[in-house]
Structure 1
């Protein structure tokens, strides 16, 4: 018979070792989850570790890469007197038949050596995943599990220990932690300083357990949009890049780096792409393997630039960020944005430059304006209809008029963050206007057409700082603001999204006075001198 041990295996315990060792040496005295003796061959021929989420690493849920987990397992099993095999099982989302997927993957990866079935295999599992294998007819060996109804355990689970390490810098001196960790895992964690990595990941409030900023973003749409505007971004920033060590933080799918690699001015430079979102990082890595970057000195890292430095201090000649800093304010906090700014200053070498291209708020953010919206380009009612599916919501929003879409925006904008968009509907000479602050008007203007990712966009704020406030915060961190820095109104946005749809007015003594569309974007150049 075989023992199949599925799990993420971020850490191995002494209990797991003793439990497997006792089964291997005395199968006949082992009982399944129902207290029944195993009705299988009394000799264990091999132990198969199915390491799930093998394609994930550097996230709270999966901090260790697959190769480190495999190294620990091989060392862990050195004293077993039977062969031990390790196979990586990629994460495929919430799959009801994940057990079947795991079994088929093991068969494929072993080239048919292991065709695991209820007639030849028992599954070692103490989590609710065991029910998937039970439904397939496998005998379950419960390991730490003592009561499956209450899901209580007789020993600490490996993940309990990971969480304790993450929350205790002194874990190495705590007997209640160390005594339960198998020496194979402890040596690995200490050698590679994995406790430092895990603590950084666990204290990160922006990134979810699986390494993403938001769970409501359609990455197919997002990637397409990033590629479509990559050339524009590069044209706006290329003249400010300084050769040497060039970093792109929030590099998405590497499009900016790809264009920079084709620029003769930077052919002797090294490029470093930093991306925290796992989906995007995977695409960067695949593009590199595909040979899409003309410069061979291109390196990608999955790191969070908020929690710490992503480059060595005083090492970078250029750091580029685009459409990133507003996400830190949106999904993180003001303190995290200020820390991000300080981190970039530390990373730059003397004479280095941080190129920050992003959205920006208008000056006079609190000024009250009147916004006139067209009602002729769609429906003006049922703006508050509930949709759970992304595609259904997109199609529904596409049918709303600009006026109707504002009413939906006012309802959804940063609702989960506790924000209330204050506005009034006023009538002037037979026309209807929305009275609100210029800042809130700009928030709507910047987001009203992002219907593919509406749920994600409703978490984001673009206009929290105006250009002068941005400059002040960089200067407080030590930067000198280059004179080429500017805030501007994107003409494409005006012509394609605003004109004919939306007009802004202010109330004067002589009546309503139409005002220009405010700034939408900025190029902010911070130098370290």
Structure 2
């Protein structure tokens, strides 16, 4: 059926990390009536037709899917369209999980964000889109669609490069990206350091495309655990914190910084929270807007400190890391990455400044062969190990939670080595009794209760470094280790997690083995002299 009404709005949804020359030329041709829709009917636009750029995932930044912050994308579009005198409106659309009504969400967001001055009536609106699944969603709502890149081929018959393809070229160091991008884009990117930012994000081997360490982590329970532990951890590190510039690396949702901000002794300090996980930084920013932090001088940064400088050299008085360094070792290149992290912390620490680290640690004499005897009557005993990779997270949690402790060891022996990359050798010498090293025994015992995030936790190694290894690592990086430092045993874990279901004996003599240290606190200072 022919369409008699003139088009007043061109809805152009997308992440819009950059604008290409082709896109601008195409939009001009579309407004001039030179483009047909996907049904082959010519699109006739009114002389004052406006392009509505719907910037999706506008609240995401610092990930491979969304390396450019939403506000920069909005500003770039405004800049390009002003240069081109292309009538436009820019509307940010927050990210949502994949949903059948996403197209409806976009159109409603546009109408709401513009105070309903823009009504995207399908009779007067055409959607510009080149993604088949998205095209189908808008067509179901009754919108006509023009295919943008799908509508054209170059002299070789190739489809013009989409913006995401151009971002990929930039990230790969291909200088031809500037030939495809609109001429106003390279200067804009240089002005705000976006080229380097994109290259850094794409080069990060640790973070997933969505800006997380792992796709199997439930960040609600993960964040809640950090919040619950913040006060206890703060009491542990509080005596050693120096006022000035204080940085919490691995800040999660900012629970520890809430307590730092409320400390009268530190009221004139500047507080920085750094975390690699987008979900956690977003929640910390949300808390800041709600006025949660008593000190207004609080900033949050999503970054991986291993991939580049986060704070200037010799600028930080106190760095705090809580339950972070084992993740660096687990998700990076092992202990060498912890060593590299230590050197970066030293570099940004002022002479006389301090790095306070609290984390799990491996037992002394970790290679000692032991027998670990576990209860096998406190849950189910399937008899076979289950491949959990394709299971939904709640189903994994329910399955693991229902296993007996010995059966959980059997599952752990399957999941831990393949996910963590660690060597893990275990032999069940008697039903429920396992021969392994003391280090491997503690890997299991300190992980076994994390059913909610089982596959994620099996990716992590808790025992890569013992007390002596920490001492050598920190002094080797250039720190002086304070007398407050040392390994310690979490007695709550012994009483509530280890002793009720497990016992340790020496594999050779049969003698009882005391539960070893489980945690370490290090207070490392950068020397004032010769620093």
Q: Structure 1 length as normaliser, TM-score?
A: 0.93
Structure 1 match to 2:3: none
- In the alignment, does 2:459 pair up with 1:456? no
In the other structure, the counterpart of 1:426 is 429
Q: What is the SS of the residue equivalent to 2:204?
A: coil
Q: Say which of 508, 516, 519 aligns to 2:517.
A: 519
**1:227 aligned counterpart, secondary structure:** helix
- 1:146–1:467: structure 2 CA closer, same or farther, 3 Å change rule? farther
| Range 366-375 or range 262-271, more displaced | 262-271
Alignment-derived partner of residue 265 in structure 1: 265
1:65 is displaced (CA, Å) by 1.5
- C-alpha spacing 1:265/1:377, structure 2 compared with 1 (3 Å): same
In the alignment, which residue of structure 1 is the partner of 2:100?
96
In 2: Cα distance, 1:42 partner to 1:289 partner: 42
| Alpha-carbon distance in 1 for matches of 2:63, 2:123 | 37
Q: For residue 68 of structure 1, what is the aligned residue in structure 2?
A: 72
5, 12, 23: which one aligns with 1:5 = 12
| Superposition map of 1:319-358 within 5 A | 319-334=319-334, 335-358=336-359
Report the CA distance between 1:22 and its aligned residue.
Answer: 1.3
The answer on whether the counterparts of 1:219 and 1:279 sit within 8 Å (CA) in structure 2 is yes
Query: How much does 1:79 deviate?
Result: 5.2
Cα pair 2:345 2:355 within 8 Å, conserved: yes
| Residue 415 in structure 1 maps to residue 422 in structure 2 | no
Native 8 Å contact 1:383 1:400 kept in 2: no
2:399 is the counterpart of 1:396 = yes
- For residues 364 and 112 of structure 1, the distance between their equivalents in structure 2, rounded to whole angstroms, comes to 69
For structure 2, list consecutive stretches of 5 or more residues without a partner in the other structure.
1-6
Task: Point out the more displaced range, 343-352 or 122-131.
Answer: 122-131
- The CA deviation at 1:147 is 8.6
Q: Is 1:160 the counterpart of 2:165 in the alignment? A: yes
What's 1:207 paired with?
Answer: 207
Give the aligned CA root-mean-square deviation in angstroms: 1.9
Over 3 Å counting, the alpha-carbon distance change for 1:494 and 1:103 in structure 2 is same
- 2:82 alignment partner in structure 1: 78
Structure 1 contact 45–82 (Cα < 8 Å) conserved: no
2:138 pairs, out of 122, 125, 133, with: 133
> How far does residue 43 in structure 1 lie from its aligned partner after superposition?
4.6
CA 267–96 in structure 1, closer or farther in 2 if over 3 Å, else same:
same
Looking at structure 1, the residues matched to 106 and 136 of structure 2 have their Cα atoms a distance apart, in angstroms, of 14
Q: CA–CA distance in 2 between the matches of 1:186 and 1:41? A: 31
2:253–2:284 CA contact under 8 A, matched in 1: yes
SS of the residue aligned with 1:201? helix
> Could you tell me whether the CA contact under 8 Å between 1:331 and 1:460 is conserved in 2?
yes
Residue in structure 1 matched with residue 313 of structure 2 by the alignment: 313
Q: Distance in 1 between matches of 2:295 and 2:339?
A: 33
Q: Matched residue pairs, number?
A: 513
Structure-1 residue corresponding to 2:36: 31
Please, which runs of 5 or more residues in structure 1 have no aligned partner?
Answer: none
Post-superposition Cα deviations, 1:149-198, rounded to whole Å, max 9, x if no partner, equal xxx95212212221222221xx6xx4x33222212322210111211111
- Aligned-pair CA distance for 1:19: 0.8
SS in 2 for 1:77: helix
How far has the Cα of 1:114 moved from its partner? 2.2
* Per-residue deviation, residues 72-113 of structure 1 (Å, max 9, x unmatched): 111211255663111001110222221111111111111212
Summarize the Cα distance change of 1:82–1:318 in structure 2 as closer, same or farther, 3 Å threshold: closer
Given that 1:3 and 1:44 are in contact with CA atoms closer than 8 Å, whether structure 2 keeps it comes out as no
1:507 shift after superposition: 3.1
Does the aligned pair in 2 maintain the 1:5–1:49 contact within 8 Å? yes
User: Structure 1 runs of 4+ off > 4 angstroms?
Assistant: 40-44, 79-82, 417-420
SS of residue in 2 equivalent to 1:333? coil
CA distance in 2, matches of 1:163, 1:188: 18
Decide whether aligned partners of structure 1 residues 361 and 58 sit closer, same or farther in structure 2, where only a CA change above 3 A counts: same
User: How far does residue 228 in structure 1 lie from its aligned partner after superposition?
Assistant: 1.1
**CA deviation profile, 1:460-495 (whole Å, cap 9, x unmatched):** 111112121122122221111112111111011111
Q: Alpha carbons of 1:467 and 1:383: their partners in 2 closer, same or farther (altered >3 Å)?
A: farther
